[in-house]
A and B are shown apart, each in its own frame.
Chain A
Amino acid sequence: MNPLSVVVRKGCDIFAWFMVVFGANVIIHGDLTPGGGFQGGAIVATFLTFLLVAYGGNRLLSWVNERFYTSLVGFGLLLFIGLAFMGFPTSFFYNFVSVTHEAAMAGGAHGIIPPSGTIALMDIAVGIEVAGGLSLIVIYMFKGIRLYETSPVGTECGHDR
Protein backbone atom coordinates (compact mmCIF):
# COMPACT_ATOMS: atom_id res chain seq x y z
CA MET A 1 0.00 0.00 0.00
CA ASN A 2 1.31 3.44 -0.87
CA PRO A 3 1.33 6.23 1.72
CA LEU A 4 -1.77 8.39 1.68
CA SER A 5 -1.88 12.17 1.62
CA VAL A 6 -0.45 14.38 4.36
CA VAL A 7 -3.89 15.17 5.80
CA VAL A 8 -4.68 11.50 6.34
CA ARG A 9 -1.25 10.82 7.78
CA LYS A 10 -1.40 13.63 10.34
CA GLY A 11 -4.96 12.69 11.28
CA CYS A 12 -3.99 9.07 11.78
CA ASP A 13 -0.96 10.13 13.83
CA ILE A 14 -3.18 11.82 16.37
CA PHE A 15 -6.07 9.39 16.23
CA ALA A 16 -3.95 6.23 16.54
CA TRP A 17 -2.54 7.32 19.89
CA PHE A 18 -6.04 8.28 20.95
CA MET A 19 -7.11 4.72 20.21
CA VAL A 20 -4.30 3.39 22.43
CA VAL A 21 -5.40 5.61 25.30
CA PHE A 22 -9.05 4.66 24.81
CA GLY A 23 -8.22 0.96 24.69
CA ALA A 24 -6.16 1.21 27.87
CA ASN A 25 -9.07 3.01 29.48
CA VAL A 26 -11.44 0.21 28.50
CA ILE A 27 -9.00 -2.43 29.75
CA ILE A 28 -8.17 -0.99 33.17
CA HIS A 29 -11.79 -0.06 33.88
CA GLY A 30 -12.98 -3.47 32.80
CA ASP A 31 -14.51 -4.30 36.16
CA LEU A 32 -16.42 -1.01 36.43
CA THR A 33 -17.73 -0.13 32.97
CA PRO A 34 -18.80 -2.15 29.92
CA GLY A 35 -15.89 -3.65 28.10
CA GLY A 36 -13.04 -5.74 29.32
CA GLY A 37 -9.85 -7.40 28.26
CA PHE A 38 -10.87 -8.70 24.87
CA GLN A 39 -12.65 -5.54 23.76
CA GLY A 40 -9.90 -3.23 24.96
CA GLY A 41 -7.22 -5.37 23.35
CA ALA A 42 -9.04 -5.25 20.04
CA ILE A 43 -9.23 -1.46 20.31
CA VAL A 44 -5.50 -1.22 21.06
CA ALA A 45 -4.75 -3.44 18.06
CA THR A 46 -6.49 -0.82 15.89
CA PHE A 47 -3.37 1.35 16.41
CA LEU A 48 -1.30 -0.74 14.04
CA THR A 49 -3.99 -0.93 11.37
CA PHE A 50 -4.31 2.87 11.45
CA LEU A 51 -0.60 3.25 10.82
CA LEU A 52 -0.67 0.49 8.19
CA VAL A 53 -3.46 2.19 6.24
CA ALA A 54 -1.94 5.67 6.51
CA TYR A 55 1.75 4.99 5.96
CA GLY A 56 1.78 1.81 3.88
CA GLY A 57 3.64 -1.37 4.60
CA ASN A 58 7.13 -0.40 3.50
CA ARG A 59 7.56 2.25 6.17
CA LEU A 60 5.52 0.47 8.83
CA LEU A 61 7.41 -2.82 8.70
CA SER A 62 10.67 -0.97 9.29
CA TRP A 63 9.20 0.49 12.48
CA VAL A 64 7.62 -2.51 14.16
CA ASN A 65 9.52 -5.15 16.07
CA GLU A 66 7.73 -8.51 16.01
CA ARG A 67 9.55 -9.83 19.05
CA PHE A 68 7.89 -7.08 21.09
CA TYR A 69 4.42 -8.27 20.10
CA THR A 70 5.39 -11.92 20.55
CA SER A 71 6.58 -11.13 24.07
CA LEU A 72 3.30 -9.31 24.71
CA VAL A 73 1.34 -12.45 23.78
CA GLY A 74 3.52 -14.69 25.93
CA PHE A 75 3.53 -12.31 28.89
CA GLY A 76 -0.24 -11.91 28.80
CA LEU A 77 -0.96 -15.63 28.61
CA LEU A 78 1.53 -16.51 31.35
CA LEU A 79 0.21 -13.75 33.61
CA PHE A 80 -3.35 -14.95 33.07
CA ILE A 81 -2.64 -18.60 33.81
CA GLY A 82 -0.30 -17.68 36.65
CA LEU A 83 -3.01 -15.58 38.29
CA ALA A 84 -5.36 -18.51 37.88
CA PHE A 85 -2.84 -20.82 39.58
CA MET A 86 -2.20 -18.42 42.45
CA GLY A 87 -5.54 -19.18 44.02
CA PHE A 88 -4.62 -22.80 44.22
CA PRO A 89 -4.83 -23.89 47.86
CA THR A 90 -8.55 -23.37 47.44
CA SER A 91 -9.16 -24.03 43.77
CA PHE A 92 -8.15 -23.10 40.26
CA PHE A 93 -9.42 -19.61 39.38
CA TYR A 94 -10.13 -18.77 43.01
CA ASN A 95 -10.38 -15.02 43.49
CA PHE A 96 -7.88 -14.71 46.29
CA VAL A 97 -7.68 -10.93 46.81
CA SER A 98 -11.26 -9.81 46.38
CA VAL A 99 -13.16 -8.24 49.23
CA THR A 100 -16.90 -8.17 49.61
CA HIS A 101 -18.92 -5.20 48.56
CA GLU A 102 -19.70 -4.04 52.09
CA ALA A 103 -16.04 -4.10 53.08
CA ALA A 104 -15.08 -2.20 49.94
CA MET A 105 -17.74 0.43 50.61
CA ALA A 106 -16.46 0.73 54.20
CA GLY A 107 -12.96 1.49 52.95
CA GLY A 108 -11.52 -1.96 53.38
CA ALA A 109 -9.96 -2.17 49.93
CA HIS A 110 -6.25 -2.81 49.86
CA GLY A 111 -4.04 -0.30 48.18
CA ILE A 112 -3.49 -0.24 44.46
CA ILE A 113 -5.23 -3.55 43.72
CA PRO A 114 -8.90 -2.99 42.89
CA PRO A 115 -11.44 -4.48 45.32
CA SER A 116 -12.61 -6.93 42.66
CA GLY A 117 -9.25 -8.70 42.96
CA THR A 118 -8.12 -10.97 40.17
CA ILE A 119 -10.96 -9.89 37.90
CA ALA A 120 -9.26 -6.58 37.15
CA LEU A 121 -5.79 -8.15 36.99
CA MET A 122 -6.96 -10.83 34.57
CA ASP A 123 -8.57 -8.06 32.51
CA ILE A 124 -5.16 -6.42 32.14
CA ALA A 125 -3.49 -9.76 31.31
CA VAL A 126 -6.03 -10.72 28.64
CA GLY A 127 -5.94 -7.19 27.25
CA ILE A 128 -2.16 -7.37 26.79
CA GLU A 129 -2.44 -10.78 25.13
CA VAL A 130 -5.24 -9.82 22.73
CA ALA A 131 -3.56 -6.54 21.76
CA GLY A 132 -0.32 -8.34 20.91
CA GLY A 133 -2.05 -11.21 19.14
CA LEU A 134 -4.31 -9.20 16.86
CA SER A 135 -1.49 -6.79 15.97
CA LEU A 136 0.72 -9.78 15.14
CA ILE A 137 -1.98 -11.30 12.91
CA VAL A 138 -2.20 -8.07 10.87
CA ILE A 139 1.60 -7.79 10.63
CA TYR A 140 2.04 -11.40 9.49
CA MET A 141 -0.77 -11.16 6.95
CA PHE A 142 0.79 -8.06 5.43
CA LYS A 143 4.24 -9.65 5.37
CA GLY A 144 2.66 -12.70 3.74
CA ILE A 145 1.55 -10.76 0.68
CA ARG A 146 4.99 -9.21 0.42
CA LEU A 147 6.47 -12.69 0.08
CA TYR A 148 5.42 -12.60 -3.59
CA GLU A 149 7.77 -9.71 -4.21
CA THR A 150 10.68 -10.50 -1.94
CA SER A 151 11.12 -14.28 -1.94
CA PRO A 152 13.26 -15.94 -4.61
CA VAL A 153 11.48 -17.97 -7.28
CA GLY A 154 11.19 -21.69 -6.70
CA THR A 155 11.96 -21.85 -3.01
CA GLU A 156 9.48 -22.65 -0.31
CA CYS A 157 7.68 -19.53 0.85
CA GLY A 158 4.30 -19.65 2.53
CA HIS A 159 1.03 -20.25 0.64
CA ASP A 160 0.55 -23.76 -0.63
CA ARG A 161 1.18 -23.50 -4.34
Chain B
Amino acid sequence: MKKTMFIAAALVLGGIVWGVLDNVHPFGDPLKTPVDDYYIAHALKDRSSENIVTSLVFDYRGFDTIGEAAVLFTALCSVTALFRQGGRRD
Protein backbone atom coordinates (compact mmCIF):
# COMPACT_ATOMS: atom_id res chain seq x y z
CA MET B 1 0.00 0.00 0.00
CA LYS B 2 2.72 2.43 1.02
CA LYS B 3 4.86 1.44 -1.97
CA THR B 4 2.03 1.93 -4.47
CA MET B 5 1.23 5.33 -2.99
CA PHE B 6 4.90 6.30 -3.18
CA ILE B 7 5.07 5.21 -6.82
CA ALA B 8 1.88 7.13 -7.67
CA ALA B 9 3.14 10.29 -5.94
CA ALA B 10 6.53 9.97 -7.63
CA LEU B 11 4.86 9.61 -11.02
CA VAL B 12 2.63 12.63 -10.48
CA LEU B 13 5.47 14.81 -9.18
CA GLY B 14 7.79 13.66 -11.93
CA GLY B 15 5.16 14.47 -14.52
CA ILE B 16 4.68 17.95 -13.08
CA VAL B 17 8.42 18.65 -12.95
CA TRP B 18 8.94 17.30 -16.47
CA GLY B 19 6.05 19.36 -17.77
CA VAL B 20 7.44 22.51 -16.18
CA LEU B 21 11.03 21.92 -17.33
CA ASP B 22 9.80 21.24 -20.84
CA ASN B 23 8.41 24.78 -21.08
CA VAL B 24 11.41 26.71 -19.74
CA HIS B 25 12.86 29.24 -22.16
CA PRO B 26 16.26 28.34 -23.57
CA PHE B 27 19.27 29.85 -21.83
CA GLY B 28 19.98 33.45 -22.77
CA ASP B 29 16.61 33.97 -24.43
CA PRO B 30 14.17 35.29 -21.84
CA LEU B 31 10.52 35.99 -22.45
CA LYS B 32 9.97 39.50 -23.80
CA THR B 33 6.88 41.29 -22.52
CA PRO B 34 5.65 44.75 -23.57
CA VAL B 35 6.29 46.06 -20.05
CA ASP B 36 10.00 45.29 -20.42
CA ASP B 37 10.14 47.23 -23.65
CA TYR B 38 8.33 50.17 -22.04
CA TYR B 39 10.75 50.32 -19.10
CA ILE B 40 13.85 49.98 -21.27
CA ALA B 41 12.58 52.66 -23.64
CA HIS B 42 11.32 55.17 -21.08
CA ALA B 43 13.28 54.75 -17.83
CA LEU B 44 16.37 56.66 -18.88
CA LYS B 45 14.45 59.26 -20.85
CA ASP B 46 11.91 60.16 -18.17
CA ARG B 47 13.89 59.86 -14.96
CA SER B 48 17.49 60.33 -16.19
CA SER B 49 18.64 57.53 -13.92
CA GLU B 50 21.23 55.49 -15.76
CA ASN B 51 20.72 52.43 -13.58
CA ILE B 52 17.35 51.18 -14.77
CA VAL B 53 17.13 48.65 -11.92
CA THR B 54 17.28 51.42 -9.31
CA SER B 55 14.77 53.44 -11.30
CA LEU B 56 12.42 50.46 -11.21
CA VAL B 57 12.94 49.73 -7.53
CA PHE B 58 12.52 53.27 -6.23
CA ASP B 59 10.20 54.89 -8.72
CA TYR B 60 8.02 52.57 -10.75
CA ARG B 61 7.73 49.96 -7.99
CA GLY B 62 7.96 52.11 -4.89
CA PHE B 63 5.36 50.23 -2.91
CA ASP B 64 7.40 47.05 -3.18
CA THR B 65 10.36 48.86 -1.68
CA ILE B 66 8.22 49.98 1.26
CA GLY B 67 7.33 46.31 1.73
CA GLU B 68 10.99 45.36 1.64
CA ALA B 69 11.85 47.98 4.26
CA ALA B 70 8.97 46.69 6.39
CA VAL B 71 10.31 43.14 6.07
CA LEU B 72 13.74 44.24 7.29
CA PHE B 73 12.16 46.18 10.16
CA THR B 74 10.07 43.14 11.12
CA ALA B 75 13.19 40.96 11.14
CA LEU B 76 14.92 43.50 13.37
CA CYS B 77 11.94 43.59 15.76
CA SER B 78 11.81 39.79 15.96
CA VAL B 79 15.54 39.52 16.68
CA THR B 80 15.20 42.17 19.36
CA ALA B 81 12.24 40.36 20.92
CA LEU B 82 14.00 36.98 20.82
CA PHE B 83 17.27 38.12 22.38
CA ARG B 84 15.85 40.65 24.80
CA GLN B 85 17.17 41.19 28.29
CA GLY B 86 13.62 40.86 29.56
CA GLY B 87 12.06 40.93 32.97
CA ARG B 88 12.06 44.03 35.08
CA ARG B 89 15.13 46.17 34.89
CA ASP B 90 16.37 47.48 38.21
Direct contact of A and B (CB under 8 A): yes
Tally of contact residues, B, Cβ under 8 A: 32
Is A143 in the interface zone, CB < 8 Å from B?
Answer: yes
* Contact partner, B58, options A35, A123, A141, Cβ 8 Å: A123
* CB pair A136 B76 closer than 8 Å: yes
Q: B84 to chain A: closest CB distance in Å?
A: 6
* CB pair B47 A36 closer than 8 Å: no
Q: A133-B73, A156-B86 are in contact. Are A93 and B62 (CB under 8 A)?
A: yes
- Give the secondary structure class of A's interface: helix
CA of A151 to CA of B86 in the docked complex: distance in angstroms? 10
Residue of B nearest to A84 (CB): B62
Q: B68 to chain A: closest CB distance in Å?
A: 7
* CB pair A100 B87 closer than 8 Å: no
CA of A149 to CA of B62 in the docked complex: distance in angstroms? 44
Q: A101-B48, A157-B85 are in contact. Are A31 and B55 (CB under 8 A)?
A: yes
Is A98 in the interface zone, CB < 8 Å from B?
Answer: yes
- A sample of 16 cross-chain residue pairs with beta-carbon separation below 8 angstroms, ordered by A number, consists of A32-B50, A33-B51, A92-B62, A92-B63, A98-B48, A99-B48, A116-B49, A118-B59, A119-B55, A122-B65, A123-B58, A140-B79, A140-B80, A158-B82, A158-B85, A158-B86
Q: Which residues of B are in contact with A by a Cβ distance under 8 Å?
A: 44-51, 53-55, 57-59, 62-63, 65-66, 68-69, 72-73, 75-76, 79-80, 82-87
